[in-house]
A and B are shown apart, each in its own frame.
Chain A
Amino acid sequence: DTEVTQTPKHLVMGMTNKKSLKCEQHMGHRAMYWYKQKAKKPPELMFVYSYEKLSINESVPSRFSPECPNSSLLNLHLHALQPEDSALYLCASSLGVPGEKLFFGSGTQLSVL
């Protein structure tokens, strides 16, 4: 299994809602990532978990809250988002050591109304 699975594929939420994005991999990878991608732009790194510990938080607003319950799962909890947070949210994983090949999920297309 060489897949990174993200759910849901599409999400529409109001600014007062709370929702969660989920990501799962069964490749034994120990590094997992959240990226945000706006249309026609490259992905921007948000968070990195390495061996279930938060290694990188790229000064992301607190309305985004990551969680890594175990080595196979990564969640992104969303609360009180703004319309400018509408984007494609991508999860990725790699073996564990920095600089390894990244495997991406197909993403969650988020719209904030």
Chain B
Amino acid sequence: DTGVSQDPRHKITKRGQNVTFRCDPISEHNRLYWYRQTLGQGPEFLTYFQNEAQLEKSRLLSDRFSAERPKGSFSTLEIQRTEQGDSAMYLCASIPSGGISEQYFGPGTRLTVT
């Protein structure tokens, strides 16, 4: 069990550029979640997947945000035409199937939009 990994750990981009983040969940976990966390706040839910199906999206997720999990394994989160307000930590978490379990979090990707 290598844990949840995220890449990159840090990303600095200019306003208007597109960015893509990757999350690799724990291998046997079929649910995968994306969160956004700003300074002094708790994680805010963005979206989650059950295998390759995207089951729910937050209203926070504007049309500039898109997430995929094409083969039910890793997931990507893309932000198009980044804005300074997108600067945040983007967290990924996964849980195994069946029952209620705690989420296992990755280390996060810190995005800075200049």
Binding between chains A and B? no
